[in-house]
Structure 1
Amino acid sequence: MKQVLITGGTGSFGKAFVSNVLETCETIERLVVFSRDELKQWEMQQHFPEKRYPQLRFFLGDIRDRERLKRAMEGIDTVIHAAALKQVPAAEYNPIEFINTNVLGSENVVQACMDTEVKNVVALSTDKAAAPINLYGATKLCSDKLFIAANNIKGSRDLKFSVVRYGNVMGSRGSVIPFFLKKAKEGTLPITDASMTRFNISLDQGVEMVRWALLNAEGGELFVPKIPSYKITDVAEAIGPNCKKEIVGVRPGEKIHEEMITRSDSATTVRMGKYFAILPSDGKLLERYIKEKENTNKVQEGFSYNSGENEDFLTPEEIRRLIKQNIDKDFEPV
């Protein structure tokens, strides 16, 4: 990994990935942040000044523009695709905008990689792409399929595409914990449904997983981490034990429990250390994995990975500790 481009590079994941790579990857020669927001790029440049980080470049562009992507990918060997529209209610109200970015934009990334000298591509997915009930999840499922299928049409190119799928990123923009931290100051926490659960992963864990996928993917895998869940009521208890808890109802397109591996996926899913891998349905990569990779075994038929049936749940105290570690070291329950 020497010449890297990350789409959506000014987002929560992008900033964490850039910071991690600049601090730990000695081989990096150029790291291109590709995004469409000039203000966020300017703000990021203040945090990573050019004199200290000459490897870092900023490239304005939209993944809806394939030609601009091709120009940005000149000389690039590794692409991380993190750009997406992701707010569930906004997707229900503006479906075509999400299709244009999350589906057609992803196809533009695939084609731009094939038209340049890119070798390795990892795309970010979401738990909402498994058995989706909202448009955002449906567009991300389409995106996943585009990247996995790209391995079938790459021809003789030295190029591989894989996907990583994980749950709610603790502290990311628009996620529940920063929202609750803000609302707790007002004395009331709005809870959609008392039985709601979600998967939880830190930004650092997400970055670690993407870098692991870059090193270990053969092309065609959809990787899923083994991570804990939390109950939304436990998040509320962790942040505002003395706050009023108000049930406000589930938002349009929202699930009570999220899923990352469906029962239908179990036929081609394997366990491998800290991760699962959902492999293509033709079975060829599955056969190779079972034969060649150590500590890899197939999941049982009918297996699913659901936030409500997870074996590992965070307690309110564990949630508080993670908030201090990952979001606000001065956090105290209200």
Structure 2
Amino acid sequence: MSVLEGSSILVTGGTGSFGKALIRRLLDEVKPQRIVVYSRDELKQWEVRQLFNDDSRLRFFIGDVRDLDRLNRATHGVDYVVHAAALKQVDTGEYNPSEFVKTNVHGSQNVIEACINNNVKKVVALSTDKASSPINLYGATKLTADKLFTLGNHYAAAYDTRFAVVRYGNVTGSRGSIIPKFKALHEAGKSLPITDLRCTRFLITLPQAVDMVLDTFELMQGGELVVPHIPSHKVTDLAQAIAPGAKMHDIGLRPGEKLHEEMISPEEGRRAITVMDGKYYILEPELATWGYVKRTDGTPVEDGFHCASDKNDIWYDAEDIREILNLEV
């Protein structure tokens, strides 16, 4: 039985692609008592109401994570929180750095404060590969948020609230996916723009991302950073999966974009273990004042471990990607 069964759960950013997939799983399989959908956009909230046929277990709060008072109201009576709200576009962050700091950093601290204030039991915050060795403003704000949540357990040591973080790359097929754009270009006989033909990326689907969050609620003590062990792919193979035989051209990396994704840096890798038969890596806290007990069910990684998309031991080719995404040729 899931620890979430029969509970009250709040999802910040709950109208996004991940939020909707999580809500569907919670309603269909976990059977919570109540789900609070917290987001800024009333239109998206209306659309989610229609999507779930006004399910009586759903509650909708218009609010911004920048607003601590509103978060305090929304988390009243809540048992568990999934923090998915963030500003995420790399290039937008380069032009609007202070706005990203307000949402991704100050907003994260507000979530922490509200959860402690309202005796929330567990909080899982969503991170990104760009928080590992960040080279752009978005990644820097998410790394800061990661630290706020994992180290926030010190802040909450005298309380029952515990925080953990999950880190993964772009979710394939989520909102803003490149799939429809590439299909349209290919059908028009045009070449597909690839930021760099050498690029590699990790591949994770929405169901896998949801699995990861639900698993983290089960395994966490507080202070963990959880990373999935998932396959890599070449961006050119993704393009060929979407549009077989399409021409491709190199347009160069965008500002703040990496050639290869990284989810665990060499420095972080020194404290990584694998759990659940290698399904996940966990970075355990180095200093824990909240009663964290070092795990005995994990396997230490090899010396010099580095989780990057070009150094992976699992790879998908175009045919694999096409099958996973149910793409028709």
| Per-residue deviation, 1:239 | 1.6
Deviations 1:146-182 (A, max 9, x none): 0001100113211110000012211112244444334
Who is 2:328 aligned against?
Answer: 332
Distance across 2 between alignment mates of 1:282 and 1:238: 45
Moved more, 275-284 or 66-75: 275-284
Other-structure match for 2:194: 191
Q: Report whether the alignment pairs 1:112 with 2:108.
A: no
Q: 1:254 pairs with 223, 243, 257, which one?
A: 257
Query: Is the Cα–Cα contact under 8 Å of residues 268 and 283 in structure 1 kept in the other structure?
Result: no
Does the CA contact (< 8 Å) of 1:184 and 1:239 recur in 2? no
Is 1:13 the equivalent of 2:15?
no
Q: Residues 169-188 of structure 1: matches in 2 within 5 Å?
A: 169-187=171-189, 188=191
Structure 1, residues 21-42: CA drift from partner, whole Å, max 9, x if none?
000013x111010000110000
Show the 5 A alignment for 1:122-271: 122-187=124-189, 188-271=191-274
1:284, CA displacement in angstroms? 8.2
The number of residues matched between the two structures is 321
**Pairwise CA distance, 1:215:** 1.1
Q: Distance in 2 between matches of 1:142 and 1:272?
A: 25
Q: 1:4 to 1:278 in 2, by over 3 A?
A: same
**Structure 1 vs Structure 2 CA RMSD:** 1.7
Residue 323 of structure 2 aligns with an amino acid whose one-letter code is R
Q: After TM superposition, give the deviation of residue 319 of structure 1 in Å.
A: 0.8
Q: Look up the equivalent residue of 1:31 and give its one-letter code.
A: I
Quote how far apart the aligned CAs of 1:117 are: 2.0
| In structure 1, C-alpha distance between the alignment counterparts of 2:63 and 2:161, rounded to whole Å | 23
Tell whether 2:93 aligns with 1:91.
yes
Match in the other structure for 1:43: 47
Is the partner of 1:131 in helix, strand or coil?
A: coil
Residues 241 and 220 of structure 1: CA distance in aligned 2, closer, same or farther (over 3 Å): same
**Structure 1 residues 135 and 286: alpha-carbon distance in aligned structure 2, compared to 1, 3 A threshold:** farther
- Give the C-alpha shift of residue 89 in structure 1: 0.7
Distance 1:142 1:311, change over 3 A: same
**TM-score normalized by the length of structure 2:** 0.94
Question: Does the 8 Å CA contact 2:157/2:290 hold for their aligned counterparts?
Answer: no
Residue identity (%): 50
Letter in 2 for 1:144: D
Q: TM-score w.r.t. structure 1 length?
A: 0.92
Q: Which residue of 1 aligns with 2:286?
A: 281
Distance 1:287 1:148, change over 3 A: closer
Quote how far apart the aligned CAs of 1:287 are. Answer: 9.1
CA contact (8 A) 2:154 2:290 kept: no
Cα-to-partner distance string for 1:218-254 (whole Å, 9 max, x where unaligned) = 0000000100011011111112223221211110000
Residue equivalent to 2:66:
64
The whole-number CA distance in structure 2 between the counterparts of 1:95 and 1:320 is: 36
Separation (CA, whole Å) in 2 of partners of 1:95 and 1:260 = 23
| Residue identity in the other structure for 2:75 | M
TM-superposed CA distance for 1:266, in Å, is 1.9
- C-alpha separation between the residues in 2 aligned to 1:285 and 1:275? 23
Contact 1:268 1:286 in 2 (8 A): no
Q: What are the Cα deviations for residues 296-318 of structure 1, in whole angstroms up to 9, with x where unaligned?
A: 12222321100011111111111
Distance 1:182 1:83, change over 3 A: farther
Of stretches 264-273 and 107-116 in structure 1, the one that deviates more from structure 2 is 264-273
Give the CA deviation at 1:286. Answer: 12
